[in-house]
Structure 1
Amino acid sequence: MKAWVYGEYGGVDVLKLESNIVVPEINEDQVLIKVVAAALNPVDAKRRQGKFKATDSPLPTVPGYDVAGVVVKVGSAVKNFKEGDEVYGDVSEKALEGPKQFGSLAEYTAVEEKLLGLKPKNIDFAQAAGLPLAIETADEGLVRTEFSAGKSILVLNGAGGVGSLVIQLAKHVYGASKVAATASTGKLELVKSLGADLAIDYTKENIEDLPDKYDVVFDAIGMCDKAVKVIKEGGKVVALTGAVTPPGFRFVVTSDGEVLKKLNPYIESGKVKPVVDPKGPFPFSRVADAFSYLETNHATGKVVVYPIS
């Protein structure tokens, strides 16, 4: 099969498109997916740069966590999926601790049944591919901060892959009383359209000067030192990147198909929408370009690769 591979850690230039990679065998608890679309995440770039060497899978690596595709083979212990099912998910249960050596940037990938959900019927494969890691991160962060109806939240980097979903989940799933979000000038309308009651232009306003305090700050940009200054007493700050300032905390998402099943109705009803960066989707031949773009840190929503062929 064709797959993107790197045999050493480094910049985008270590990525190579190979055409003679062996199609992975499946274990009894796995399905083989014909990949239709995949998405890139910052963790892919950091992993390729060698930042998680100590706990990484062996090289050479086929990168990619997010996948959307069609089941073409099922293991003997698989109960909930059959050949022909359209599925999506994050293929590595732990993002940093022994992630899959053969990820989603390939024509086929083997994935445990428990990490997958059925693709929502109302969205296409490219949209579905951008959801799993980001929406599971958004949801797990909200669960870990004990977010619930009537609470307020400030989302830093509201137009990014995770932030765009935190806004929607907080508002439309968890019943937030107020959602504020930071974005650049050109993306303020987008974050409002996703459910932000207040859109803050971070190029013009400093969050520390905001008049209100929040129950939760979801820091998806790496500003924990400032985030902790705008929480109410007893409030919580979850940080995805950068240095952590107490009482802020960090977690690394655990891939879980049950979360996709839980959120599927909200996606199918249109309350929660995937945001795919308008520069994409990038064709499979341009994965290196897609990574270069992702690593500018200016993407809107998700950088998606489609079609995979």
Structure 2
Amino acid sequence: MASTVAAIPSLHKAWVYKEYGAAKDVLKLEELPVPPLAPDQVLVKVHAAALNPVDFKRRLGKFKATDSDLPTVPGYDVAGVVAKVGSEVSSLKQGDEVYGDISEFALDKPKQWGSIAQYTAVEEKLLAIKPRNLSFIQAASLPLAIQTAQEGFDKAKLRAGQSVLVLGGAGGVGSLAIQLAKFVYGASLVAATTSTPKLELVKSLGADIVIDYKEKNFEDMPERYDVVFDAVGEPKGTNVVKEGGTAVVLTGPVNPPGFRFVVTSNGSNLVRLKDFLESGTVKPVIDPKGPFDFGSVVDAFCYLEGGRASGKVVISVLQ
């Protein structure tokens, strides 16, 4: 799908921080030069962006040893329209509606000029054409989280007919991990933990067993699983892994037979999921408080950091 593209300005509005710290102290909306374009990149006119825990952890300085230079425009997830293409770009053209995770490596020199802005420059290989049935808001909610779930299951060698436990089933990654396990990888049983107010949401995503972690201890239940997908940092998750199984751990301590990884962005991974997204088999999950408008990015960060979000926190970038 292609959209009409207006002339590109020399300056654009972007949220930026020049030092590490709390959102309310360091995040400012400023006018900055539109990011320069490398030969293998496209310039995306941003229509929507999304926040991830890595965004606020990065802003707090938790990854400063491998971070890109300050000042930083935050944001990994983007959905928008190609405004300009680099000289080596072959598969995308001006006007294409695209989405993706704009930093190939989340923690190793991620983009200095991120997606919480009116324009962002992205390597062609990190983007995919936006599924035609999804809005920009819906598409922006997906890339980092859905690729994290996808890569985690790939590394765990999840096969059809196996069983999966998702710890943190209502979160940005967990809500997609449930759907991918069930409908993409063909798991025979998907269980998930969540809090009382989110039980129905998690059930609606395809979980066969929904565990209210405030009422039940998953260790005390009889089920054991081929793959435990831990999105919340629960070291006891490995206690319910079947012999020969494994645990995918995104945060917190890792006990055998678990492993940790950091997602690598690749547009071809999103292409793999195109049919599942366009058919509605896998659906974006956006927190009902959103989308936040472009002027409320500090509020969006504070809400995400409060730990109560269901699905993804998305920013609408008005042009």
Q: So what's the TM-score if we normalise by structure 1?
A: 0.98
Match in the other structure for 1:259: 269
Match in the other structure for 1:275: 285
Indicate if the aligned counterparts of 2:175 and 2:311 stay in contact, CA closer than 8 A: yes
| CA gap 1:308/1:65 in 2 versus in 1, 3 angstroms | farther
Give the residue type in structure 1 aligned to 2:158: F
Gaps of 5+ in 1: none
Indicate if the aligned counterparts of 1:148 and 1:174 stay in contact, CA closer than 8 A: yes
Query: Is 1:43 equivalent to 2:49 in the alignment?
Result: no
Shift, 1:189, TM fit: 1.1
Match in the other structure for 2:317: 307
Q: Deviations over 1:69-123 (max 9, x none)?
A: 0000001111111000000000000000000000000100000000001000101
Shift, 1:16, TM fit: 3.2
Indicate if the aligned counterparts of 2:126 and 2:266 stay in contact, CA closer than 8 A: yes
Indicate if the aligned counterparts of 2:229 and 2:248 stay in contact, CA closer than 8 A: yes
What secondary structure, in the 3-state scheme, does the structure 2 residue paired with 1:55 have? coil
C-alpha separation between the residues in 2 aligned to 1:101 and 1:222? 28
Match in the other structure for 2:306: 296
Give the residue type in structure 2 aligned to 1:244: V
Name whichever of 14-23 and 261-270 sits farther off.
14-23
Q: 2:197 aligns with which of 161, 172, 186?
A: 186
Q: So what's the TM-score if we normalise by structure 2?
A: 0.95
What does 1:137-148 align with in structure 2 at a 5 Å threshold? Answer: 137-148=148-159
Match in the other structure for 1:75: 86
What secondary structure, in the 3-state scheme, does the structure 1 residue paired with 2:42 have? strand
Q: When the two structures are aligned, how many residues end up with a matched partner?
A: 308
Q: Deviations over 1:138-173 (max 9, x none)?
A: 000000100010000000010100000011001111
C-alpha separation between the residues in 2 aligned to 1:202 and 1:18? 39
Q: Deviations over 1:25-75 (max 9, x none)?
A: 111100000000000000001000001111100000000000000000001
C-alpha separation between the residues in 1 aligned to 2:176 and 2:274? 13
Match in the other structure for 1:25: 36
Query: Is 1:123 equivalent to 2:140 in the alignment?
Result: no
Shift, 1:298, TM fit: 1.1
What does 1:51-62 align with in structure 2 at a 5 Å threshold? Answer: 51-62=62-73
Indicate if the aligned counterparts of 1:8 and 1:14 stay in contact, CA closer than 8 A: no
Give the residue type in structure 2 aligned to 1:167: I
Shift, 1:15, TM fit: 3.6
Q: Deviations over 1:220-252 (max 9, x none)?
A: 0100x2101101011100111111112211100
Give the residue type in structure 2 aligned to 1:127: Q
Shift, 1:259, TM fit: 0.4
